[in-house]
Amino acid sequence: MNFASDNWAGAHKAISERLVAESGKYWTPYGASTLDEDVERKLSRLFEREVKVFFVATGTAANSLSLAAVKKTGGIIFCHADAHIIHHEGGAVEFMTGGAKLVPVSGDSQGKMSASQLEKTMARYPGDLHIGQKMAISITQATEAGTIYSLDEIRALSAAAKQAGLAIHMDGARFSNAIAALDVSPAEMTWKSGIDILSLGGTKNGCWCAEAIVFFNPEQARDMPHLRKRGANLFSKSTFVSAQFDEWLKDDLWLKLARHSNRMAAQLATAVAASRSARLAWETGSNQLFVVLPDETAAKMTAAGVPLMQWDTPEAMEGRLSADEKIYRFVTSFATRDEDIVQLAALL
């Protein structure tokens, strides 16, 4: 039982076993194998249009190289104030882009910014030489707060980006969970809603280490081969990533795993609702729950060996917690089992 994050679990067995099956073969290295191409084709099919795909090792690489591909000197990237790219990439986005500035946009609802909030912030950046040129918008779907942008919300943000002549990137570390929650197609949630570049995360949803940068406009991908190599993320045995994705895509494994983890989160939410000690800090909809726990309950859990992830209290929650309460994040994954929920519920 572990709800600390969806990157603590190993990998789905089908994916590990696929690597065993591949281990005895020879493949052209450095992303040029027929398997790499095959998976790219499958992703084109998934997204219902030709896409250009680049496999990388980490979500950090996917995000920072995606944004580096936009290529504006001294550029400015707008994102939610709690976005992973601004608050948890250790400066990788700034570094890979040659020094882009990440500007936080505040949002009313947890993890999400609205088009009007975005536009208000952008208005401070008219784009002269000193202020610098606006470059891109980045949104996270599902967000860092577990919430999910509706298609309408994404379209409004894309429209604001296009209006300003900017590229729009989606950090899809938990893309699968958002798709499962919204029950829309990958195409609808991305390019049909105006998204230009996607960081497609496999790692948090059953893979060992498999992230893909997906360009919906192949033209924007032109420099990416060089960016990825210079960014030390071109694998020799790149089929070890493409094989993971191949297995992940097979029979919609990715979607089944995401539905599973969302369902586990829903069960956990029910358990929280039924608990006398705990309550949800806010509604999410994906595989991340934010739960208010009294210190006593938290202590009990820790004593029971459950690793707890305390969450900074967002401004909007200030004054809504008693002195002995804190917010904790609980994340379910492909590996969460019914009995884990039952066991956790017993502790609540």
Subset of 43-102 contacting a copy of itself (CB under 8 A): 56-61, 64-65, 71-76, 86-92, 94-102
What does the block give as tokens for 92? Answer: 């990788």
**Least CB distance to a copy of itself at residue 324 (A):** 20
**Is position 209 an interface residue for a copy of itself (rule: CB under 8 A)?**
yes
The burial of 64, by beta-carbon neighbours within 10 Å (0-12 exposed, 13-18 middle, 19 or more buried), is given as buried
Residue 70 CA, distance from chain mean position: 19
Query: Residue 135 Cβ, how far from a copy of itself at the closest point, in Å?
Result: 10
Give the number of other Cβ atoms within 10 Å of residue 340's Cβ.
18
Q: How many CA atoms lie within 13 A of 315 on its CB side?
A: 7
Half-sphere exposure of residue 267: CA atoms within 13 angstroms, side-chain side = 19
Q: Which of 227, 266, 306, 331 binds a copy of itself (CB under 8 A)?
A: 227
Nearer to a copy of itself, 96 or 195 (CB): 96
Please state, in angstroms and as integers, the Cα–Cα distance from residue 242 to each residue in 116, 201, 209, 247, 263, following that order.
39, 13, 10, 9, 28
If DSSP codes are grouped into helix, strand and coil, which group holds residue 69? coil
Q: Which is nearer to a copy of itself, 172 or 194 (CB)?
A: 172
27 binds a copy of itself (CB under 8 A): yes
Q: Which residue, 232 or 323, is less far from a copy of itself as judged by CB?
A: 232
Given the complex with a copy of itself, which of 105 and 154 has the nearer CB atom?
105
Q: Smallest distance from the beta carbon of 211 to a copy of itself, in angstroms?
A: 10
Rounded Cα distance between 252 and 12, Å, is 13
> Which residue type, as a one-letter code, is found at position 205?
N
Stretch that binds a copy of itself, among 41-49, 187-195, 235-243, 262-270 (CB under 8 A): 235-243
CB burial of residue 14 (10 Å; 0-12, 13-18, 19+): middle
33 vs 297 by CB, closer to a copy of itself:
33
By rule CB under 8 A, what string of x and - marks binding of each residue 244-283 to a copy of itself?
----------------------------------------
Does the footprint of a copy of itself cover residue 10 (CB under 8 A)? yes
Cβ atoms of residues 199 and 62 within 8 Å: yes
Question: Binding residues for a copy of itself, how many (CB under 8 A)?
Answer: 82
Strands 76-80 and 101-105: parallel
- Considering only 108, 232, 276, 305, the residue that binds a copy of itself (CB under 8 A) is 232
Near a copy of itself in 134-193, by CB under 8 A: none
Task: From 179-187, 202-210, 248-256, 322-330, give the range in contact with a copy of itself by CB under 8 A.
Answer: 202-210
